[in-house]
Amino acid sequence: MKYIISYDQHRDRDYTPVWTQLNGWGAKRVLESVWLLASNLTAQQIRDQLQTVTRKEDSLLVVELKQGSNWGTYQAQTPGVQWLQQNIAA
């Protein structure tokens, strides 16, 4: 399954634990706090695992992407755009 993941840190903005987890899964960043991931985990499992490296007041969003979903970017980070090109046909 393919996912788009976003998060907001509302207080202490130490992104290292989140970035470490996402990088460990092989996720690619497309915007500052928006990542793309191919995983066998469910959206709920991804959310639950990310909650272990965020604070209680932080926000998370995990949405499954489907092959053939329409998408477009502007000034997005190259690794994320390449991920979209390889995983989600425009």
For residue 87, which of 37, 24, 46 has the smallest C-alpha distance? 37
Domain count, the chain: 1
Q: What is the pTM of this model?
A: 0.88
The answer to whether residue 86 scores a pLDDT higher than 80 is yes
Q: Give the CATH number for residue 53.
A: 3.30.70.240
> pLDDT by residue (tens digit) across 16-49?
899 999 999 999 999 989 999 999 999 999 999 9
Q: What angle do CA 29, 32, 37 make, to 5 degrees?
A: 25
Residue numbers of the domain that contains 6: 2-87
